[in-house]
């Protein structure tokens, strides 16, 4: 399982690095079927490739903590796969209009859940080695990079309804987007490296 997880983890990093900019470009200037089709593909492929990683992560953890991390991660992967499939079905016109209209929001929620889980898994698997410390740091950065803009957006939606986007707000949004785009592959790289035989031998417990 560890060898499979290392391969699929690398594939997941590539899927995210390549797929998310393509999805963003397809949505310019307005959301389109092409954007939702690509988003569905990214969600489905990401869920499939991350599943072995989830099932192999956290080997040095206590059994209860490891089970919690793996089970919650598996739920997130299933959510990604199902939301991607639903989005693909919606693009093909196989769903009723109401469900099809909500399918992009479901996929986005699954992506947010993924980053929340990354932060949780990284905190739970923190350890003394250099790789474990970097996995912890990158995981928290990934989780915060996604969650903070979401929380800001919720607060602004309910309490600053007259807010207007101006040129000064473009840079912070772009920086958060770049952080989310780069942090997931960086975290996966640390996780995959931590699963290498050399690191396992150096940290047998």
Question: What's the pLDDT tens digit per position in 33-71?
Answer: 899 999 999 999 999 999 999 999 877 778 888 999 999
Tens of pLDDT along 158-204? 777 676 666 667 778 888 889 999 999 999 999 998 887 655 545 54
pTM score of the predicted model: 0.89
Whole-number Cα distances in Å, 42 to 46, 57, 132, 162, 177: 6, 22, 28, 34, 17
Tens of pLDDT along 80-133? 999 999 999 999 988 888 888 899 999 999 999 999 999 999 999 888 888 889
Residue 205 banded pLDDT, cuts 50, 70, 90: very low
Higher pLDDT, 169 or 148: 148
Scan for tokens 């859940």, then name that residue.
Answer: 113
Task: Kindly calculate the radius of gyration of the chain based on its CA atoms and give it in whole angstroms.
Answer: 18
As a whole number of angstroms, the distance between CA 192 and CA 44 comes to: 21
How many other C-beta atoms lie within 10 A of the C-beta of residue 101?
11
Tens of pLDDT along 75-88? 999 999 999 999 99
Whole-number Cα distances in Å, 36 to 68, 95, 109: 32, 14, 14
DSSP state for residue 126 in the 8-state scheme? -
Helix (H), strand (E) at residue 77 = helix 63-91
HEC-encoded secondary structure of 4-68: HHHHHHHHHHHHHHHHHHHHHHHCCCCCCHHHHHHHHHHHHHHHHHHHHHHHHCCCCCCHHHHHH
Residues 113, 76 contacting (CB under 8 angstroms)? yes
Scan for tokens 């199902």, then name that residue.
Answer: 82
**∠ at Cα 45 (176, 21), nearest 5°?**
35
Q: Which pair of structure tokens corresponds to residue 58?
A: 């956290």
In the predicted structure, residue 2 carries a pLDDT above the cut 90: no
pLDDT at 176: 87
């Amino acid at each position: 399982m560890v060898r499979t997880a290392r391969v699929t983890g690398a594939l997941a990093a590539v899927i995210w690095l390549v797929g998310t900019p393509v999805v963003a470009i397809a949505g310019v200037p307005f959301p389109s079927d092409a954007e939702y089709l690509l988003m569905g593909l990214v969600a489905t492929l990401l869920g499939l490739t991350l599943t072995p990683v989830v099932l192999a992560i956290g080997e040095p953890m206590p059994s209860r903590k490891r089970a919690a991390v793996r089970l919650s991660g598996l739920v997130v992967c299933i959510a990604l796969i199902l939301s991607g499939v639903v989005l693909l079905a919606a693009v093909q016109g196989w769903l009723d209009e109401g469900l099809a209209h909500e399918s992009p929001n479901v996929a986005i929620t699954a992506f947010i859940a993924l980053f929340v889980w990354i932060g949780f898994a990284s905190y739970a698997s923190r350890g003394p080695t250099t790789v474990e410390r970097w996995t912890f740091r990158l995981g928290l950065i990934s989780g915060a990079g996604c969650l903070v803009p979401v929380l800001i957006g919720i607060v602004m939606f309910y309490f600053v309804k007259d807010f207007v986007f101006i040129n000064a707000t473009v840079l912070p949004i772009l920086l958060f987007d770049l952080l989310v785009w780069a942090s997931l592959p960086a975290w996966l790289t640390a996780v995959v490296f931590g699963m290498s035989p050399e690191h396992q031998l150096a940290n047998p417990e």
